[in-house]
Structure 1
Amino acid sequence: MSEIKRVLIVGGTHGNELIGVYTNRRFEQNPDLIRRPHLEVLTLFGNPQAIAANTRYIDEDLNRCFAAPIAEPSTHLNYEMQRVAAIRNEFGPSGRTPVDFIIDQHGTTSNAGLMLILDQLDAFTLNLAAYLSTLQPEIKVYSSTNSGRKQDSLRSIAPYRIGIEVGPVAHGTLHAELFQNNQALIYAILDYLEQYNCDNGTVHQSALTLYQYVGKVDYPKDETGAVLAMIHPHLQFKDYQPLNPGDPMLLTFDGETIAYQGDSTVYPVFINEAAYYEKGIAMCLTQKQHIHLDAPLP
């Protein structure tokens, strides 16, 4: 694998996830914070109009749009599709300033803590995630490889990428500790990439715990689309904790418990994420895996 020459740090892919927005503002005001001798590091505000309006998006979710084959911005397109074309034409593989690696910052109302999102499980990305986990053992690593996010997210335009998800934090607000933790993760990623370039790929870790996406659960709804149940109190804020067959999962407004009916233990994440109500997702289900990284980097 060749050097990682150009890195793009994205904030505001969702306009009301302010930790990434204000992190990028700080980096633009203090570029020495992200300057590394063997990397070109750029920043991007993904959805400027949504940031100005303090809302997730204007017309549709920008982070679900990049599978569309949009080549050029056009007034006939909605705002997010215009952003897709502009971002792809600037930073995509055939763009004016193609990037090798994207760091995409997000915030969630779920109890994510510090979460890394991996859209691909190549040796380079796995070793990076394992390295970051050794620095901050509380980090959880979530693999979205089976969820389709590899194709439609903003970060999908780069050959290598990682998402940072921090929470719980209410949309449209800041959280000082998570803000600091988010920055520390970005510095560690840049340092790792810098070391990788200097050492020609000798950075290597031994093991990694991974939460692999296997499916999602929606809230039960009536014929009008109104939800009929809530996350059960025993499950609320229990991201990454085991959910066994028969365990309480949802609670109706009449107080009836709806149990998890799966065949095996799963580990829910993004439990009760506010932005996922419109997507029909009460939680994502994962399998917990322990991966041994005994192969050298490519």
Structure 2
Amino acid sequence: MPLIQRVMIVGGTHGNEFTGAYLIKKFEQHPHLVHRASFETITLLANPKAFLAVRRYIDKDLNRCFQQVELQDLTLSSYEDIRAKEINYFFGANGKTPVDAILDIHTTTANMGLTVITDEHPFNLRLAAYLQSINPLVNVYVLPQSEQEYSLPSICKFGCTIEVGAVAQGLLQADLFRQTEALIDTALNYLEQYNQAEILSFDSKLTFYQHHGTIDYPRNESGEIQAMIHPQLHFQDYKSLTPGAPMFLTFDGEAIAYEGASTVYPVFINEAAYYEKGIAMCITQRQQAIF
């Protein structure tokens, strides 16, 4: 694989996720923090208008605007569609200053801790394994390529999304801010070592969570939610959910059990931004690989 020449750190893809946005501002004020000798590091506040408005987006979710068919569709004229085209024009694979790797910082209201979200590309999995070997608290959530192709990091092959929580929307939380900054620093160090062929061999068993679908809230015929996340499941991201275990609780206090055939590991449980997407949680299977 060719050397990494340009890395882009992104924050504020969603305007009310402050950790990434304010890390970008810090890195812009103190560029030495992200400088590495073997590649250029650039920063991007992805959705500045939404950030100023303290909203997830202005017209539509920017992190769903990067499919190639949408980027090439000139009839799409929402603010986020135009912004996606601008980002791709400058930094995409065929852009004016294409980037080789993207580290896209997000926060979630779900109890995801430090999560690295990536696809199944071997380079990205090895980066994730390294991050987990340095910090065993790092969770790795692996999405299929089809689930990634609409997101901002899809404009290049390498890198990952860093998802941190639980953090309320429009709020900074000092401990998770510092942990996210440390994770970015470690990722940049890995890319630097890769370029210099100095990556130390590490015998690491990567534990990761493979995406297997989503579950919506129970709804009536009008589409209105009829139950909440059960208290026993709330904030239990990456914990096992066994068949028959309570999943939802109706407004009348009746428990609704998980009816799957096997144990799963839910993530993004009760994510505030996913109510509009019809997602109560994402379902994963826990797996391991040796690096």
TM-score range, shorter chain: over 0.9
1:191 corresponds, among 189, 192, 208, to: 189
**1:164 alignment partner in structure 2:** 162
SS of corresponding position for 1:221: coil
For residue 98 of structure 1, what is the amino acid of its counterpart? Answer: P
Question: How far apart, in 1, do the equivalents of 2:68 and 2:2 lie?
Answer: 28
**2:179 alignment partner in structure 1:** 181
How far is 1:84 from its partner? 1.1
**1:211 alignment partner in structure 2:** 209
**1:133 alignment partner in structure 2:** 132
Question: How far apart, in 1, do the equivalents of 2:288 and 2:235 lie?
Answer: 23
Given that 1:196 and 1:203 are in contact with CA atoms closer than 8 Å, whether structure 2 keeps it comes out as no
How far is 1:144 from its partner? 1.3
Question: How far apart, in 1, do the equivalents of 2:2 and 2:221 lie?
Answer: 54
How far is 1:202 from its partner? 6.2
SS of corresponding position for 2:240: coil
For residue 135 of structure 2, what is the amino acid of its counterpart? Answer: Q
Question: How far apart, in 1, do the equivalents of 2:111 and 2:128 lie?
Answer: 20
Number of equivalent positions:
291
Question: How far apart, in 1, do the equivalents of 2:21 and 2:204 lie?
Answer: 34
Q: Deviations over 1:80-126 (max 9, x none)?
A: 000111000000011000000000000000000000001x2222211
SS of corresponding position for 1:141: strand
For residue 213 of structure 2, what is the amino acid of its counterpart? Answer: G
Normalised to the residue count of structure 2, the TM-score between the two structures is: 0.96
1:1-298 superposed matches below 5 A: 1-70=1-70, 77-118=77-118, 120-145=119-144, 148-199=146-197, 203-293=201-291
Specify whether residues 29 and 225 from structure 1 end up closer, same or farther in structure 2 by C-alpha distance, changes over 3 A only.
Answer: same
Listed as ranges, the gaps of 5+ residues in structure 1 are: 294-298
Given that 1:102 and 1:155 are in contact with CA atoms closer than 8 Å, whether structure 2 keeps it comes out as yes
Given that 2:120 and 2:143 are in contact with CA atoms closer than 8 Å, whether structure 1 keeps it comes out as no
Specify whether residues 42 and 73 from structure 1 end up closer, same or farther in structure 2 by C-alpha distance, changes over 3 A only.
Answer: farther
Given that 1:128 and 1:189 are in contact with CA atoms closer than 8 Å, whether structure 2 keeps it comes out as yes
Question: How far apart, in 2, do the equivalents of 1:82 and 1:203 lie?
Answer: 43
For residue 117 of structure 1, what is the amino acid of its counterpart? Answer: I
How far is 1:149 from its partner? 2.6
**Comparing 28-37 and 124-133, the one that deviates more:** 124-133
How far is 1:10 from its partner? 0.4
Question: How far apart, in 1, do the equivalents of 2:39 and 2:246 lie?
Answer: 49
Listed as ranges, the gaps of 5+ residues in structure 2 are: none
Q: Deviations over 1:165-193 (max 9, x none)?
A: 00000001010000000000000000000
Specify whether residues 205 and 84 from structure 1 end up closer, same or farther in structure 2 by C-alpha distance, changes over 3 A only.
Answer: farther
Given that 1:73 and 1:86 are in contact with CA atoms closer than 8 Å, whether structure 2 keeps it comes out as no
Question: How far apart, in 1, do the equivalents of 2:19 and 2:260 lie?
Answer: 36
Q: Deviations over 1:27-75 (max 9, x none)?
A: 0000000000001000011111101100000010000111153557979
SS of corresponding position for 1:49: helix
Given that 1:244 and 1:265 are in contact with CA atoms closer than 8 Å, whether structure 2 keeps it comes out as yes
Question: How far apart, in 1, do the equivalents of 2:133 and 2:178 lie?
Answer: 18
How far is 1:76 from its partner? 6.3
How far is 1:224 from its partner? 2.6
How far is 1:292 from its partner? 1.8
Q: Deviations over 1:252-279 (max 9, x none)?
A: 0001100000000000000000000000
Q: What fraction of aligned residue pairs are identical, expressed as a percent?
A: 53
CA RMSD of superposed structures (Å)? 1.6
Normalised to the residue count of structure 1, the TM-score between the two structures is: 0.94
SS of corresponding position for 1:13: coil
How far is 1:161 from its partner? 1.8
Question: How far apart, in 2, do the equivalents of 1:53 and 1:188 lie?
Answer: 32
Given that 1:127 and 1:204 are in contact with CA atoms closer than 8 Å, whether structure 2 keeps it comes out as no
Given that 2:213 and 2:284 are in contact with CA atoms closer than 8 Å, whether structure 1 keeps it comes out as yes
Q: Deviations over 1:209-266 (max 9, x none)?
A: 0100001110011233221000000100000000000000000000110000000000
How far is 1:205 from its partner? 4.4
For residue 212 of structure 1, what is the amino acid of its counterpart? Answer: Q
**Comparing 23-32 and 61-70, the one that deviates more:** 61-70
Given that 2:264 and 2:284 are in contact with CA atoms closer than 8 Å, whether structure 1 keeps it comes out as yes
